[in-house]
Amino acid sequence: MTATSENAMTQQIDETIESARDSLATATPGRVSLRSLRKVYGDDKKAAPAVQDVDLDIEPGEFITLLGPSGCGKTTTLRMIAGFETPTAGEIHLDDDLINKVAPNKRPMAMVFQSYALFPHLSVFDNVAYGLKLKKLPSARVAEEVETALTSMNLGPYRDRAPHQMSGGQQQRVALARALVMRPKVLLFDEPLSNLDAKLRVQMRGEIRRLQRRLGITTVFVTHDQDEAMTMSDRIVVMNVGVIEQVDTPQEIYRHPASVFVADFIGRANFLDVDVHGVTDSDADVSVLGQRWTVPKHAAVGVDGSVTLMVRPESVRLTATEGRAVGGSVGRVLSSMFYGQSIEYDIETEAGNLVVSVADPHAHETFSPGDFLDVGFEAGRAWLMPVDGDAP
Ligand SMILES: Nc1ncnc2c1ncn2[C@@H]1O[C@H](COP(=O)(O)OP(=O)(O)OP(=O)(O)O)[C@@H](O)[C@H]1O
Ligand SMILES: [Mg+2]
């Protein structure tokens, strides 16, 4: 696709979204609060909870993503918010109301699924109309609302098609139209892009995010894809075996992870063994790679306790050296991989093997396996953190 046609497409989508704002905007986006939320499946009281001690405030209009490995409790949390699962303990509030006992169809929420969950025997029009008909709106009103939603989502020409006559991206757009036509206070997504090919997935990310911004609908999005979470969210909730490890903006999560699990799950990280000489509230004085460094630190890091220094691959600095043995600041190239926009090295150092990413390789001297290098890092971008037992 040429740049011009891509621009034209983006502009068309923007105009579409602009008209969608007038026709589909919710009156007031909802605030969702989860309090000590817990879910144990089945009757076995000793079974490990799928979700435990989850406390979370989702602000009106916020795009929040639940992110974590398979089985960590993302879908369970989302389904409790939607009302498809009953919490074993804890509270779910929508604005000022406790909604634990409110049936799913009585919650002003709409959910979009990975499988689209369209009715295969119904046309696009009837799929989008379904919820409004259930609400017993007069049929003229239903027709009007559905046409508006279809036009807004660029789906007008497909109104009479069956779902199987459409592409995955189009089907997902129908699912979105079906959700938006209900004018929900909260929009819930469970891995909505997983079935799409890579390029379409990236395009739909932007589309959903722009639509959400314009409409201002509170959105809870579930994914195990960190790129999706990083690029779409106002805040990310990182979950691990049923508990929340961290809730923060994508930037903060990347730069200042709360745990080794988070550091390792979001992006890539090197973990260096360091000696800690002293700490202030925000910094620590450490030695590693033959030098002293002042590095920012996690609030829980004191002089005692087990700690590790996280250094992202792009924060490592390599320079040619005269050294001929690994030790101190001297490391050795084990392997290199050329990616075009970057080059990646595995470097053996006395603090362990480091993954190093150098952007724009043509602007830098490149190194070969066996080369000895002086290894340093951007101290301000390192992060001294507690070891939480999950260290790799
Ligand atoms: N209906 C169910 N009955 C019993 N156990 C369940 C049920 N649904 C989920 N679980 C279990 O609860 C835990 C959390 O599952 P959940 O579906 O919430 O994970 P997830 O984070 O959405 O994972 P994925 O990324 O694979 O979709 C898992 O251990 C899962 O096996
Ligand atoms: Mg899931």
**Residue 64: strand pairing partners:** 220, 235
Mean pLDDT, the chain, as a whole number?
Answer: 89
Handedness of CA 273, 278, 281, 282 (dihedral sign): negative
Q: How far apart are CA 173 and CA 225, in angstroms?
A: 20
Q: Which residues does ligand 1 sit against, CB inside 6 Å?
A: 41, 50, 68, 70-76, 224
Asked if 272 contacts 312 with a C-beta cutoff of 8 angstroms, the reply is: no
Q: How far apart are CA 329 and CA 315, in angstroms?
A: 15
What local confidence, expressed as pLDDT, does residue 151 receive?
84
pTM (global) more than 0.85 = yes
Q: How far apart are CA 7 and CA 14, in angstroms?
A: 10
Q: What is the mean pLDDT of the segment spanning 151-176?
A: 88
Tokens in use for 88? 């074993």
Buried b (16+ CB within 10 A) or exposed e, 4-19: eeeeeeeeebeebbee
Asked if 246 contacts 54 with a C-beta cutoff of 8 angstroms, the reply is: no
What local confidence, expressed as pLDDT, does residue 12 receive?
56
Handedness of CA 382, 384, 388, 390 (dihedral sign): positive
Report pLDDT digits (tens) over 334-380. Answer: 999 999 899 999 999 999 999 999 998 888 789 999 999 999 999 99
Best residue for ligand 1 mutational test, from 52, 74, 85, 193 (most atoms within 8 Å of Cβ): 74
**Residue 58: strand pairing partners:** 32
Q: How far is the CA of 243 from the centre of ligand 1 (A)?
A: 13
Q: How far is the CA of 222 from the centre of ligand 2 (A)?
A: 7
Which residue CA neighbors atom 28 of ligand 1 most closely? Answer: 71
| Percentage with pLDDT > 70 across the chain | 92
What local confidence, expressed as pLDDT, does residue 1 receive?
44
- 70 pLDDT band (50/70/90 cuts)? very high
What local confidence, expressed as pLDDT, does residue 257 receive?
96
Q: Regarding beta strands 235-240 and 218-223, do their DSSP bridges make them parallel or antiparallel, or are they unpaired?
A: unpaired
